[in-house]
Structure 1
Amino acid sequence: MSNIDLLLMSIRNLWRRKLRTILTILGVTIGCASIVVMLSLGLGMKANTQRQLEEMGALDVINIMPYPIYNNETGAAKDPAPLNDKALNTIKQLEHVVSVMPMLRVDDAQIFSKKYQTYAEIVGVDPNVLSDFDIKPVWGKLLTENDTNAAVFGGGIKRSWYNPKSTNRGIISNNESPVNLEKDKIEIGIGYDFSEDDRPSFKKTFKIIPIGELDEQDFEYGYNIFINMEFAEKINREAKRMKDQNKAEGGYSFGRGSSTSKYSQILVKVDDIKNVKVVNESLEKLNFNAQSKMKYVEPMIKSVENQQIILGGIGAVSLLVAAIGIANTMVMSIYERIKEIGIMKVIGASVQDIKKIFLTEAALIGLFGGGVGIGFSYIISAIINSYASKPSYGSDMGMMGGMMGGMPGETAKISIIPLWLVLAALAFSSIIGLVSGFYPATKATRLSPLEAIRTQ
């Protein structure tokens, strides 16, 4: 008997028992749809978690700050190792460290242009390693050693210019920046002074030339202005001189970070995310106040993986029930077709042909049920995503969308069905059908032809 004859015979046999076949297929449909939708929710959570992690910035970078190190158990604090050139050399020698970038904040300084100022943090960096930390401009270029008074602006600064003399001190730039980085004169001012005209006034100013701007979606450095380390040190020396003079005259002065540290911060690039924890522990043993985002990432990833297992398990139970339904249908089919099986054996049908007929019927039930189940899965997924995208944050689904990465004004996809899941569901449902039909098929081949023919 050819494979085509086997297939056609199996389809005819299923069609003769339409109601039972449809009900069995419906069970597989529900089981397949359940597991696909559950897994799609898990994939949606994983995708949104991944997006949140990307917004957190580079995960293979460790941040070292000159702040006191607190013991979580006792609450006691101790001074960290100073961030200086000796610390840089020590960190560079650590295994898995590929790049180290010192950073120096410019204190008590303000960026201004025309009558506008901006909320930004001016940071001195080493231009030789700036590109190692995935800092890329959307226009222009990064700093080089020869750019003495050049600057690279964060992408968010364009929306933060404000007029300090205005009665409305809020941010005035929502869509269009009032300052053109490529055309307008931009300066750094220290020692704020009061003036009667509309322009901000400072005791000393430094002209800077914007040579690049970062992506507006770069949330980590969006409000930083990068300048060369030597330029930052020069501005800080002048600012310190003014603060010392002000203090001598009875004014108030303050500083940030450890007084023994040369740098405000050190970034450490690790060769692989898997090694971040090891490097972070090594830095802590050297008495550095080292912090990495992986400390927060690992619990998030573990939570998502646990949720995926739970959701997949719930769907698998439905599919297991459907598999029992297929086995039940095939066993009942044997009892109804005992005489038919006996006749097939008498006229020369081989044991393998009979087994193939029952296995094919079981596989077709699984395949048809899986196909219809996938169709329902897409419909359910579309409904879930449509409902979750509505700005109804008081509802459970709105809250779920928020927890899974949806922000106000964004459309959060909390159910994702990739092509591989569709193919896997079809294959799995067919395999479930074959496995469920194996016992009934084996049982059919063991029937005695003479006893089967005598069966009424």
Structure 2
Amino acid sequence: MRYLRRIAASFPTLVLARRNLSRASARSILAVAAVVIGVVAIGAIGVGGEAFKQDQLDAYEGFGGTATVNPVWNPNDEREGDRTFSESEIARMRQASGGATVLPVVESFESDVRTTDGEAIPMASVTSLEDPGEFYDAAAGEIPDNWRRTVVVGSRIANDNNVSVGDRLSVTVDGEFDRTFRVVAVLEPQGFAGPLRADQKVFVPLSQFDDREYDSAIVRVNPQTGSVDQVATSIESEFNAREHTVYVHPIQQQREAFERSFRTINQFLIGVGSISLLVAAVTIANTMLMSAIEREGEIGVFRAVGYPKTAVVRLLVAEATILGVVGAVVGVPIALGVGMVANQLLLGDPLSFTATGLRYVAIGAAFGVGTSLIAGLYPA
């Protein structure tokens, strides 16, 4: 009952606070706008950053239970050029992996890809993988199990150069071949975080390469029958017994490292966005201070008729809190709207909010109200 009486007693204070704010509408609107900017900055950066992170992490979904194996360059190696894997080393890798799938990869960075009109496709690189369908889904066409004179292209190559299924591409690889292939499939977008950077790739069959020297390998383990960490340890023991000749990177570890890095970047950006709330605090403090100075006579009358100091303090604090609440109420829908646009662009679903993204919006609203309350204490 006592609690209800306190609430009832606070209503006149809130009504009076609202009236005082309306008398200085220009300053009040500016203060609310500052809070709105801060709430939107924190909420939108948080939601948009989470959507971007999820979009990039989706590129790792097809690589569950896999690891990449890369050779270590050895200055004492008699072979010229960059260190590669031979057929015998791939066979040793398969033996050491205990039945896991080992897919060798050929990366051709000195390559030239052109359309049938002779127009070069910039930034395209040629990669040969035995079966891209092991890791990727096709957005158009179908990835064949056995392929010879066809290629699979990444989404960015297709979108930026108007390449579609059925088109023909001229692929030249220095020292290997110069041939024309038919596009049989276009891959789903993978994002820059994909382990093979598939968006900028043209995948050609391994059979097109005469010299079977492999730049890397992908080891895939069935989680029900083995552990990728155990397989990685076995391969390292096989190849690194006397000297360090291979790096084995479980892709799950790469995913976790990317997630940690992006979390740090997102928090930094939110910290930058929080500066706008500092500006809001200064604006509200200035608004309340000017209001207190202009209303010295009015406050004196309050005190003369028996208003205690605490009542005057509550009035000014209530005014600052109203500014913060109104700013949060306006800012939250805007932040969610920006987040919906980001979700639609990156994830294809405007309502695909994550719990972490929504938490950032709530944090922005709480900071907005809290900042307003703190900024109103000194003038009060």
TM range (shorter): 0.5 to 0.7
* 1:247-274 deviation per Cα after TM superposition (whole angstroms, max 9, x unaligned): xxxxxx99899xxxxxx98645789xxx
For 2:144, the equivalent position in structure 1 comes to: 160
For 1:189, the equivalent position in structure 2 comes to: none
Unaligned runs of 5+ in 2: 1-5, 104-127, 152-163, 166-186, 195-209, 241-245
* 1:5-36 deviation per Cα after TM superposition (whole angstroms, max 9, x unaligned): 22222212212222221222122222322333
For 2:32, the equivalent position in structure 1 comes to: 25
2:372 maps to 1:367 = no
For 1:437, the equivalent position in structure 2 comes to: 376
Contact 2:43 2:336 in 1 (8 A): no
Contact 1:330 1:358 in 2 (8 A): yes
Deviation at 1:307, TM superposition (A): 3.4
Shift in CA distance, 15/282, structure 1 to aligned 2, threshold 3 Å: farther
Deviation at 1:366, TM superposition (A): 1.0
Deviation at 1:312, TM superposition (A): 1.5
For 1:312, the equivalent position in structure 2 comes to: 270
Residue 301 of structure 1, aligned match among 256, 259, 262? 259
Paired with 1:344 and 1:45, the residues of 2 have a C-alpha distance of 54
Paired with 2:24 and 2:33, the residues of 1 have a C-alpha distance of 14
Deviation at 1:354, TM superposition (A): 2.4
Deviation at 1:283, TM superposition (A): 5.3
Contact 1:270 1:279 in 2 (8 A): no
1:62 counterpart letter in structure 2: A
Contact 1:28 1:429 in 2 (8 A): yes
Residue 52 of structure 1, aligned match among 43, 47, 59? 59
* 1:106-139 deviation per Cα after TM superposition (whole angstroms, max 9, x unaligned): xxxxxxxxxxxxx9969xxxxxxxxxxxx9xxxx
* 1:263-290 deviation per Cα after TM superposition (whole angstroms, max 9, x unaligned): x98645789xxx9889857853553643
1:362 counterpart letter in structure 2: A
* 3-state DSSP of counterpart to 1:291: strand
What's the % identity of the aligned pairs?
25
Aligned length: 278
For 1:62, the equivalent position in structure 2 comes to: 67
* 3-state DSSP of counterpart to 2:15: helix
Higher relative contact order, chain-length normalized (CA < 8 Å, sep 6+): 2
Shift in CA distance, 282/412, structure 1 to aligned 2, threshold 3 Å: farther
Deviation at 1:430, TM superposition (A): 0.6
What is the TM-score normalised by the length of structure 1?
0.47
For 1:130, the equivalent position in structure 2 comes to: none
Shift in CA distance, 267/277, structure 1 to aligned 2, threshold 3 Å: closer
Shift in CA distance, 278/330, structure 1 to aligned 2, threshold 3 Å: farther
Shift in CA distance, 3/280, structure 1 to aligned 2, threshold 3 Å: farther
Shift in CA distance, 349/296, structure 1 to aligned 2, threshold 3 Å: same
Deviation at 1:432, TM superposition (A): 0.8
- Once the two structures are superposed, the pairs formed by residues 180-199 of structure 1 within 5 Å of their partners are none
1:356 counterpart letter in structure 2: R
* 3-state DSSP of counterpart to 1:160: coil
Shift in CA distance, 101/9, structure 1 to aligned 2, threshold 3 Å: farther
Paired with 2:55 and 2:17, the residues of 1 have a C-alpha distance of 45
Paired with 1:84 and 1:382, the residues of 2 have a C-alpha distance of 46
Paired with 1:102 and 1:72, the residues of 2 have a C-alpha distance of 31
- Once the two structures are superposed, the pairs formed by residues 271-282 of structure 1 within 5 Å of their partners are 280=232
* 1:201-249 deviation per Cα after TM superposition (whole angstroms, max 9, x unaligned): xxxxxxxxxxxxxxx98x99xxxxxxxxxxxxxxxxxxxxxxxxxxxxx
Shift in CA distance, 316/281, structure 1 to aligned 2, threshold 3 Å: farther
Deviation at 1:434, TM superposition (A): 0.6
* 3-state DSSP of counterpart to 2:67: strand
2:265 counterpart letter in structure 1: Q
Unaligned runs of 5+ in 1: 89-99, 106-118, 123-134, 136-153, 176-215, 221-252, 258-263, 390-405, 442-456
What is the TM-score normalised by the length of structure 2?
0.55
Deviation at 1:330, TM superposition (A): 0.9
Q: CA RMSD in A?
A: 5.2
Deviation at 1:328, TM superposition (A): 0.6
Paired with 1:13 and 1:280, the residues of 2 have a C-alpha distance of 70
For 1:11, the equivalent position in structure 2 comes to: 18
2:315 maps to 1:354 = no
- Once the two structures are superposed, the pairs formed by residues 373-392 of structure 1 within 5 Å of their partners are 373-378=331-336, 380=338
Contact 1:64 1:267 in 2 (8 A): no
2:318 counterpart letter in structure 1: T
Contact 2:323 2:372 in 1 (8 A): yes
For 1:428, the equivalent position in structure 2 comes to: 367
2:239 maps to 1:287 = yes
Paired with 1:282 and 1:435, the residues of 2 have a C-alpha distance of 59
Contact 2:67 2:250 in 1 (8 A): yes
Report the structure, 1 or 2, having the larger helix content: 2
Paired with 2:373 and 2:100, the residues of 1 have a C-alpha distance of 63
Contact 1:24 1:329 in 2 (8 A): yes
Deviation at 1:83, TM superposition (A): 4.4
Bigger Rg, which one: 1
Deviation at 1:323, TM superposition (A): 1.0
Contact 1:61 1:268 in 2 (8 A): yes
Deviation at 1:161, TM superposition (A): 7.6
Paired with 1:265 and 1:20, the residues of 2 have a C-alpha distance of 62
For 2:100, the equivalent position in structure 1 comes to: 102
2:329 counterpart letter in structure 1: G
For 2:285, the equivalent position in structure 1 comes to: 327
Paired with 1:351 and 1:278, the residues of 2 have a C-alpha distance of 71
Contact 1:277 1:294 in 2 (8 A): no
* 3-state DSSP of counterpart to 1:440: coil
